[in-house]
Amino acid sequence: MGNKSAVIVTCLLAITFATAGCSSKRGGGMYDNELSADQMAAESSIDQFEGTGEVAAGGVFQDVGFGFDSDGLDATSMEAVRNNAAIMEANPGLKAEIEGHCDERGSSEYNLALGARRARAVRDAMIGLGISHERMSTVSYGEELPLCKDTSESCWAENRRGHLVELRR
């Protein structure tokens, strides 16, 4: 593992361990089985992973898909962006974090950078649709928090996404 990669992985692990016991959503740090799949999916991917070791799809927003090695928004992606912007427009107090995710191909460094570009592409498209930049933040998880863990094109396609999460007020 390269020096940069080791630093990134170390930082991600430090954040994960530092925040592991901080969530007030779960009693004693254990996952509350009474949460529905939609409620779990409404949490950030890192919060889901800390609670269950897995990441879920769903929530209020639609995931925005991306092509292989791309941060460009095609017609299908833009439809999801428009739907997400409509949700935010209808709920003026709503703020969202946009997570950039990648499939497992490519180096950790490359995928973190690509995930960041994907998150920014979604944010910029939503700004173009009239959503204030102040209501959105971005984060990249690269390949680290996959929805699907199989090694197939359909699985990789699920992992190439911009995932929006409602920020708690």
**Greater pLDDT, 147 or 21:** 147
User: Which pLDDT score, from 0 to 100, does residue 72 have?
Assistant: 98
User: Which pLDDT score, from 0 to 100, does residue 6 have?
Assistant: 46
User: Which pLDDT score, from 0 to 100, does residue 54 have?
Assistant: 55
Q: What is the CATH number of domain 3-167?
A: 3.30.1330.60
State yes or no: pLDDT of 7 exceeds 80.
no
User: Which pLDDT score, from 0 to 100, does residue 167 have?
Assistant: 85
User: Which pLDDT score, from 0 to 100, does residue 155 have?
Assistant: 94
Q: Quick check: 133 and 146 in contact, CB under 8 A?
A: no
pLDDT in tens, 79-118: 999 999 999 999 999 999 999 999 999 999 999 999 999 9
State yes or no: pLDDT of 11 exceeds 70.
no
Instruction: Report yes or no on whether pTM surpasses 0.95.
Output: no
Q: Is the dihedral of CA 118, 123, 124, 129 positive or negative?
A: positive
User: Which pLDDT score, from 0 to 100, does residue 39 have?
Assistant: 45
Domains of the chain, residue spans: 3-167
pLDDT in tens, 13-24: 444 433 333 333
pLDDT in tens, 31-89: 333 334 444 445 676 665 555 555 566 678 999 999 999 999 999 999 999 999 999 99
User: Which pLDDT score, from 0 to 100, does residue 96 have?
Assistant: 95
Of 140, 155, 142, whose CA–CA distance to 110 is shortest? 142
